Amino acid sequence: AQAMSVLAARIMSEQQDKIDSEQAETRKLQVGSGDRSERIRTYNYPQGRITDHRINLTLYKLAEVMGGALEQVIEPLINEYQADQLAALAE
């Protein structure tokens, strides 16, 4: 009986370690490196250009986006996120 409880404790410990490592990996992917050179978006006012470096999107509609037409930036981000989620499910 004691051997079974020790075995059960070891199995639960391994499962918890696996869950913890998966959560840590997910968190690490979400946070990024924290490096200042890791750019998200560039706003170039003289050229009227906005570039989202995460999805390689460049729009020459900076005035419209700054005026509130954010769907031009948000929709491609959502599409990319959904594509990533579908690819993760396919794996």
Query: Could you tell me the two tokens for 7?
Result: 């075995």
Q: DSSP state, 34?
A: -
Q: What is the pLDDT of residue 19?
A: 95
The model scores a pTM over 0.85:
no
Q: Quote the DSSP letter at residue 38.
A: -
Domain that holds residue 4: 1-35
Each of the 91 residues of the chain gets a pLDDT tens digit; together they read 899 999 999 999 999 999 999 999 888 877 766 666 778 899 999 999 999 998 999 999 999 999 999 999 999 999 999 999 999 998 8
Tell me: do 49 and 87 sit in the same domain. Answer: yes
pLDDT computed for residue 33 by the predictor: 65
Q: Are residues 90 and 63 in the same domain?
A: yes
The total number of structural domains in the chain stands at 2
Q: Are residues 30 and 64 in the same domain?
A: no
Nearest to 73 by CA among 52, 43, 47: 52
Q: Give me the pLDDT at residue 34, please.
A: 65
What is the distance, to the nearest Å, from the Cα of residue 86 to the centroid of all Cα atoms in its chain? 14
Count of CB atoms within 10 A of residue 80's CB? Answer: 15
